[in-house]
Chain A
């Protein structure tokens, strides 16, 4: 309402992609942050809001009898097809949107101007809501074998790790520094999750700079320290989440994977999850399938298969299941890496934690999990989500895949998550919205330099405020299910219509069980109050 209006265009049509209904007709406004379309043809005022940061592409299509079409694709899979009467207007909207949707400097991001009218104190409290130290405490760390160290406070070990990391107590500073020189970008093995029941640890790192024959004593000592921190198991797994061929190709560049002969008692294993480029093109193909105009069942299923999307989702899930099983059943510690250890590694470590520990299936726990495995450990949200005008080859739906894996688990275990699908969609929206500081930049150091803790808001308190609408009414509580052991046969994976066709309302169920149950619960609460009053 008080936003600055940049542009206003009358007589704009918004086409409905699927329904044969008459196109809406109305006015299009551009503000500094949003594209707003007001449907004036409908009896009730209907507004469509599109955040500029959500726009992934704007296309001018060939002139039609109705006017000049403008097709907008969004990162949250909203597709809006406008038709504008005048060529000039269309061109103005087009160029404005190109500029607005691809900010060049970080300061232009929404988070730096977003002002929810909140006191400085509450804003700062918001950033303190998630404390990773508490999560390590929950795992019993520090303990005899593991310690939280600030060895990285000046980013000397690794520029993309947070200042504080968890490493084996037995690893001396020399070991840490030595290992850091032998790991790509200094991303040494650190603890991701400790399974308290049997001391098996889930650790993560980047690929070793092993080439064809190089070795590093400190790195070998580092792995030994991790293995020995878990005396219950004589060996440890080293899992490379890349396809074997990719890992082998890396050797020629002086990188590669661990040689089993050089590391004592390790079991080395490849899990073939494809790289960011394969995933990007897979999503592209999936979206093309989702956008087909009245496809036959065959077209859709063939397209779904050819996109490879569900195959990749299954690969990530299988890897998570393998890690969780190794930790729980074989009582073995696992060290996971891919190339740099910030994409596939983040996916499978967070998924394995979620499978092992019911805490991560609560609101608070899921926030901790994302802060810990994704934000703190340097998943490059800014590049992967294309927050700024940059290299399109760096964009990839790595986080989206993780969110989908969680959704797939919700389908199999409907009572085991405190939150519903809506919470996932909400987070997914904000990873791209740049409205909150959490997902800006590429790593902790980057965010410090951007001064996001001083200048922006954290997303989590805003989501916690909306707990009532984001909760899962079927949740059976923290203790009902311990580990999740999902079925990963192909038929257990469904196409997620609520994500990829989320804005095609006609395709969604017309009545929502979730909404029905939530309103029933709300009603019950008010009845409880009435009953209490009446009894008095």
Chain B
């Protein structure tokens, strides 16, 4: 925009901030605008910031190897021997969007896996997502089966998922599409598990919105939050019309359903939608937040993001390209990961003492998923990351975050490890707009930050006192012991 020779550049950022720069001189302004335009829409991944970023900190632990599936498997092996690590995908030939190693039932060999991969969309055969130690039930995830219109079946597929069932027990397939969509998918070669071939499995369709619907919802919500109108009805109707909180509620409901099947029904669960790279991962990762206390620690949550999102092949580069201010209709853009983070935040709000991390940690992940100096969220899957040689050429977000001085900013002062399953309420009254993301730039944060400081101070003071009392007690005990020794002499 120009007024006289004063130019104004409005920059709309992926973290939802809007910055306005007033620049004197038309030419300078145009130059700056075109530079920003060019630099913010790079075609080639290898020209992006992570490839040029030089860290100003000492790397204590290389984040690229912090969360290997082998470690996860070791952990699993200490409680069960029903599973094995398979390297069938080591060169990404069986499933291009899977990592080189996956965890599968022990009784299923690689040859069978290859056959199952041909029966599942994109080769995404069922793999272990989560093992519920409490009762030995498993959560699997995959993509849709390619049954087509003539009801194709695959004995190995049936055998694979049946291997996760206890004798005489049933399992649940949670299909994240409505029944009619799943039926229509058959015409395009897709489909769903039919009762005749999977008699031990009960299918539940729990619809979760996809792609452009979510992106439109995101855009509408951000637009509503930026509206400076004082009209309350207008705000509430825009909030409602964005449907954002509806998606949050549906997603949490689906996650609770999966968690319930496992924990309350004592059944194994297979989750999939069409591709198995979006709604599937939302459900499986949120169910783990509910079920598994480890996922509520900082390290555990990082591991969850790596395992269930990065290694599981959520196409970050496609989904998190432009964020809410994109005007060009990006076909693959969708706030799938943000919705997941917000659901975690909603659960966090309801169980504020059960998470080791604070809200800032979730906001950090949102920011870095969309734009980062670190290579962690580049590429769409492990195969692409390997081709880009990201571990060699870029720094991992985890290398930075897991340094003690950074970690301290993300710690929840009132955390108390809680080994229980935490069931969130999904009633509309219990769900709130995530102010930390959506109102962050629209209202002063000073008073909320001061409240956070106070919380930290209260806990810190308590811990210091406890330490002091402990020291005094020990000294007293030593003095008494000395006294006794002397008396004994």
**What secondary structure prevails in chain B residues at the interface with A?**
helix
B236 touches A304 (CB 8 A): yes
| B300 contacts partner chain A, Cβ-Cβ < 8 Å | no
Against A, the Cβ 8 Å flags (1 = close, 0 = not) of B400-442 are: 0000000000000010000000100101111111000001001
B90 contact set on A, CB distance < 8 A: none
Sort chain A's interface into a size bin.
35 or more
> Which B residue sits closest to A506, measured CB to CB?
B425
Tally chain B residues at the interface, Cβ within 8 Å. Answer: 55
CB distance from B479 to the nearest CB of A (A): 11
Are A305 and B246 within 8 A (Cβ)? no
Within 8 A of B (CB), among A465-523: 473-474, 476, 487-495, 497, 500-501, 504, 506-513, 516-517, 520-521, 523
Contact B429 A489 (CB under 8 A): no
A530 CB contacts on chain B under 8 angstroms: 469, 472
Does A311 reach chain B (CB closer than 8 Å)? yes
A528 to B468 Cα, complex, angstroms = 9
CB within 8 Å for A521 and B458 given contacts A413-B447, A531-B472? yes
A416 to B228 Cα, complex, angstroms: 26
CA distance A310 to B235 in the complex (A): 11
Q: A474-B455, A491-B225 are in contact. Are A527 and B465 (CB under 8 A)?
A: yes
Contact with A along B445-480 (1 / 0, CB 8 A): 001101100110011011001101100110010000
Nearest B-chain residue to A511, judged by Cβ: B353
- Contact of A305 with B236 at beta-carbon distance under 8 Å, contacts A510-B350, A513-B352, A521-B458 already known: yes
B232 at the binding interface (Cβ < 8 Å): yes
Question: Does residue A300 face the partner (Cβ distance < 8 Å to B)?
Answer: yes
**In this complex, what residue of A is CB-closest to B422?**
A510
B161 at the interface (CB under 8 A from A): no
Asked if B352 and A305 make an inter-chain contact with CB atoms under 8 angstroms apart, the answer reads: no
| Alpha-carbon gap, A303 to B230, bound state (A) | 19
Query: CB distance A534 to B469 under 8 Å?
Result: yes
Cβ-defined partner of B231 (8 Å) among A296, A490, A507, A535 = A490
B476 to chain A: which residues have CB within 8 Å? 534
The interface residues of chain B lying within 8 Å CB-to-CB of A512 are: 352
A48 to B430, CA, bound (A): 23
Among A299, A493, A509, A511, the residue within 8 A (CB) of B232 is A493
Residue from the list B236, B443, B451, B458 in contact with A487, Cβ < 8 A = B443
Residue A314 at the B interface, CB < 8 A?
yes
Judge whether B205 is part of the interface by a CB distance below 8 angstroms.
no
> Within residues 243 to 283 of chain B, which ones have a CB less than 8 A from any CB in chain A?
243, 245-246, 248-249
In the bound complex, residues from chain A placing their C-beta under 8 Å from that of B427 are 18, 294-295, 504, 506-507
Known contacts A305-B237, A310-B236, A513-B352: A415-B432 contact under CB 8 Å: no
A293 to chain B, nearest CB (A): 10
CA distance A513 to B413 in the complex (A): 10
Smallest CB separation, B469 vs chain A (Å): 5
Chain A residues whose CB sits within 8 angstroms of the CB of B468 once the complex forms:
527, 531
How far does the alpha carbon of A536 sit from the alpha carbon of B365 in the complex, in Å? 50
**B233:A491 contact, CB within 8 angstroms:** no
Output the residue of A301, A491, A504, A523 with the most chain B CB within 10 A. A491
Distance of A259 Cα from B249 Cα, bound (Å): 53
Q: In this assembly, does B351 line the interface, its C-beta being within 8 Å of a C-beta of chain A?
A: yes
Residues on B with C-beta less than 8 A from A137 are none
In the complex, what distance in Å separates the CA atom of A506 from the CA atom of B432?
15
| B234 on interface, CB distance cutoff 8 Å | yes
User: CA–CA, A534 to B468, complex, Å?
Assistant: 10
Q: Is A265 in the interface zone, CB < 8 Å from B? A: no
Asked whether B469 lies within 8 Å of A300 as measured between CB atoms, the reply is no
On whether the beta carbons of A305 and B233 are closer than 8 Å, the reply is yes
**Nearest chain B CB to A410's CB is how many angstroms away?**
10
Does the CB pair B448–A414 fall under 8 Å?
Answer: yes
Query: Are B458 and A494 neighbours in the complex by a CB distance under 8 Å?
Result: no
Give the CA-CA distance A493 to B353 in the complex, in Å. Answer: 25
* Contact of A301 with B428 in the complex, beta carbons under 8 Å: yes
Is B378 among interface residues, defined by CB-CB distance under 8 A?
A: no
A435-476 contacts to B, CB under 8 A, are 473-474, 476
B138 proximal to A (CB < 8 A): no
Q: What is the distance, in angstroms, from A233's C-beta to the closest C-beta of chain B? A: 27
Is A524 on the interface with B (CB-CB < 8 A)?
yes
Set B351, B425, B432, B444: member contacting A494, Cβ < 8 A: B432
Cβ B429 vs Cβ A511 within 8 A: no
Is B362 positioned at the interface, with any CB of A under 8 Å from its CB?
no
Q: Determine whether A297 belongs to the interface, using a CB cutoff of 8 Å to chain B.
A: yes
Interface of A is mostly: helix
B305 to chain A, nearest CB (A): 24
Kindly state the separation between the CA atoms of A507 and B425 in the bound complex, as whole angstroms.
Answer: 6
- A412 located at the interface, meaning its Cβ lies under 8 Å from any Cβ of chain B in the complex: yes
Q: Which residues of A sit under 8 angstroms from B432, Cβ to Cβ?
A: 494
A311 to B231, CA, bound (A): 8
Residues of B within 8 A of A413 (CB): 447
How distant is A480 from chain B, measured CB to nearest CB, in Å? 8
A residues less than 8 Å from B354 (CB atoms) = 511
Residues from chain A with Cβ under 8 Å of B447 in the complex: 412-416
Beta-carbon contact of B233 and A311 below 8 Å = yes
Asked if B240 is at the interface (CB within 8 A of a chain A CB), the reply is yes
Query: How far apart are B91's CB and chain A's nearest CB, in angstroms?
Result: 45
Which of A510, A520, A534 interacts with B462 by CB under 8 Å? Answer: A520
Scan A409-427; emit 1 where CB is below 8 A from any B CB, else 0. Answer: 0001111100000000000
A119 lies within 8 A of chain B by Cβ: no
| Given A491-B433, A511-B352, A520-B462, CB of A295 within 8 Å of CB of B428 | yes
Say how far A465's CB is from chain B's closest CB, in angstroms: 23
Contact B240 A301 (CB under 8 A): yes
What are the residues of chain B within 8 A of A290 when measuring CB–CB?
Answer: 429
**Does B84 sit at the interface, judged by CB under 8 A?**
no
- B363 CB, min distance to chain A CBs, angstroms: 18
Nearest-Cβ distance from residue B406 to partner chain A, whole angstroms: 24
Whether A507 touches B235, Cβ cut-off 8 Å, given contacts A297-B249, A301-B240, A530-B469, is no
Q: In the complex, which of the residues A302, A314, A507 contacts B429, with contact meaning CB atoms closer than 8 Å?
A: A507
Q: How far is the CA of A318 from the CA of B243 in the complex (A)?
A: 28
Partner of A489, one of B228, B461, B472, B473: B228
CB neighbours (8 Å) of B462 from chain A are 520-521, 523-524, 527
User: Is A65 positioned at the interface, with any CB of B under 8 Å from its CB?
Assistant: no
Q: How far is the CA of A510 from the CA of B232 in the complex (A)?
A: 30
Binding site for A on B (CB under 8 A): 225, 228-237, 239-240, 243, 245-246, 248-249, 349-354, 414, 422, 425, 427-433, 439, 442-444, 447-448, 450-451, 454-455, 458-459, 461-462, 465-466, 468-469, 472-473, 476
Can you give 24 A-B contacts (C-beta < 8 A)? A18-B427, A290-B429, A294-B427, A297-B245, A297-B249, A310-B232, A473-B454, A489-B228, A490-B234, A491-B439, A494-B432, A495-B429, A497-B429, A506-B425, A510-B350, A511-B352, A513-B353, A516-B352, A521-B462, A524-B462, A527-B465, A530-B469, A531-B472, A534-B472
Given A490-B234, A524-B461: 4 more A-B contacts, CB < 8 Å: A414-B451, A414-B454, A474-B455, A530-B469
